[in-house]
Structure formats: structure tokens, C-alpha cells
Amino acid sequence: MRPTTQLPRRLPRRVEIVEVGPRDGLQNEPRAISTAEKLELVRLALEAGVGAVQVTAFVHPRWVPQMADAEEVGRGLGELARRPGDEVARDRPAVRCSALVPNLKGYQRAVAAGVKAVDYVLSASDAFNRRNLNQSIAESLRELEQVARAAADDRVALRADISAAFHSPFEGAIAPARLAGVARQAASLGVGEVGLSDTDGFADPLAVGAGVEAVLAGTSLQVEQLALHLHDTCGRAIANVMAGLEVGVRRFDASAGGLGGCPYSPGASGNLATEDLVLLLHDLGIETGIDLDRMLDAAAYALQFSARPYQGHALRVKRPELFRQA
């Protein structure tokens, strides 16, 4: 590993990874996954040193049956923190478990289940917003205003996740100014953090760089308030990470084992694999606070739930025995 003093000046020294496997990774898996199995994946990620985990989604179970146990997962987090011998959540105050919410009702369910951080989802693409959330961007922003007000009262951390931030499966490229406009409106409602998601995985590094720069130039948001959520559909997730790092982004979502992906992109491979991201960042001399070996344990655990072959790389390189034919 090269000394960090040789890092190009614009690369951050430390990056926070948000593990989204328990929600984004598992949500479209066809087999039933128990609450205990989901909580075990959360525990393994926290034990590997991940500082933030998106644990579930408070969505209608008819839309996403796999997330029907969101309340149980939310309550289970409290028990996870109290388990004897399990120091993860208790001894690390930075640990933050969030849940995705698509609307005010989802927010209220999350808070009732004890969740202290929520990710409210909307889109920079009106067609995607309508398809995914059944309402216009303007309607989603009006609902975000209500959620933001409630979150301020409840002292709940609020992140707005802008999906199809750079490219839409229904509209193609999203103009950076359009993305910045949605981010500006979200920020004006008091949202503390904004996630920019390449939901269908068709963004390229130039689009990611331009999108992030437009958001920084056109909103009150600082780079510390941004996160990138990248998909590997076209094999560009790692290249897009580099583009994000070069414009100063220091928070990235990733999914253990590369599970998940966009249901609107047929044949799409999944989320950026957490273990691939950790491997890259460590080779670049960027700190993550994550133990790669323990992250590989979490990835191997996650992989058993996947109906598809492994989509990442690090597990194949570091644990080849897992892939040998029996």
C-alpha cells in the first residue's frame, strides 16, 4: 500500500461506507429470508467496522414482500445492541442504522419501530418517480416537506435519496442542472444529507463528476453531505467511485456480495459490492475503518441469499475456495 502522503490532493483521506445489503441487496431476492438472517447480516457488517447500515424499508408489503418484516428488523436492532458479548452498536456511537421510507406513512412506521435515521426516496427523473413511487417529483417534494418537518421534531436524521440521478431507464441522461434543481429543493426543506443514485447503472464517470459538481455549485449542500449509490450494470461502478472521489465525495453506499440491483434494468448486475469498494479504497490508502477480512465474511454470508452467481470481484480473488466446483 502506498503512503497516504502520496495521495493526489483532492482524494479524501477517509471514506464512510453505508452498507445497504440488508435492504437494497435483499429486497428483490425471491426466497424468504428471515428477520434473524437479516439482523445477522447487519451484525456482520457492523462487526467488520461498517459505520452505517441501511437495514430495511418501510414500504407497502405488496410492493416489496421481502421487506414486510421492517418493524421486526427495526426492533431487532435494539436487541442487537444489547446482546451480551456483542459490543458493536453499544461501543461505537458513530454506528447508524437507517431505513428507507417512500412517504410519510413509511416514516411514521419507521419512527414507531425505533428507527433514528431515515432515507426518503425520490427521483431526478419524473418518469422514474412516477413508475417507482406513483407520483410526480413535485408531489414527492411536497411529501418530503412533511417528512422533514416531522423528522426535525422527532430528532430523526433525514437523508434524501435521489434515484436516477444521472441516468434514467425511461428518459436517458439526466441533465446535471435538473439533478441540482431537485437536490436544491430537497436541501431547502432542511434535509441534512443527499444520496445520488445511479439506479440503472448507466452513468459514466464524466456524468457522475458533472452531476456532483452541479449539485455542489447549485445548492447549499457541502460535499460532506453527499453520498453516491452506484450500480455495476455496465461494469462502471468502480470507475464511477473514482469520479466521485476526485470531486471530493467521501460517502458511498455498497452492498455486501454485490447483491441487489435495479428491477427496471433487465439483466443488470447488482449494487457495487462493499468488499470491492473496501479493497479499492485500502489500495488507494484511503481509510474506511473496515476490516476487509471480516467484510469478506459478511459478503460470503450475504451471497447465500442471492439467486444469481456472485457479481463482485474481491470475494472471488480473496476466497477462491468458495467458488471451486464441488
What is the smallest separation between the CB atom of 122 and Mg ion, expressed in angstroms?
15
Going residue by residue from 13 to 32, which x/- string records binding to Mg ion, judged by CB under 5 A? -----------x--------
170 CB neighbour count, 10 Å cutoff: 16
Of 24 and 69, CB closest to Mg ion: 24
* DSSP-H helix ranges across 121-251: 126-133, 137-154, 176-188, 205-218, 237-246
Q: Does residue 197 contact residue 232 with C-beta atoms inside 8 Å?
A: no
- 95-114 residues near Mg ion, rule: CB under 5 A: none
Residue 97 catalytic? no
If 0-12 CB within 10 Å is exposed, 13-18 middle and 19+ buried, where does residue 326 land? Answer: exposed
Which of the residues 15, 41, 262, 277 is marked catalytic?
262
- 231-290 residues near Mg ion, rule: CB under 5 A: 271
Q: Does residue 104 contact residue 150 with C-beta atoms inside 8 Å?
A: yes
- 23-82 residues near Mg ion, rule: CB under 5 A: 24
Of 15 and 196, CB closest to Mg ion: 196
* 306: contact with Mg ion by CB under 5 A: no
Q: Which among 100, 104, 27 has a CA at the least distance from the CA of 259? A: 27
Q: Which among 98, 108, 49 has a CA at the least distance from the CA of 77? A: 98
* 161: contact with Mg ion by CB under 5 A: no
What is the smallest separation between the CB atom of 205 and Mg ion, expressed in angstroms?
18
How many residues belong to the site for Mg ion (CB under 5 A)?
2
Give the residues lining the site for Mg ion (CB under 5 A).
Answer: 24, 271
Q: Which residues are catalytic?
A: 262
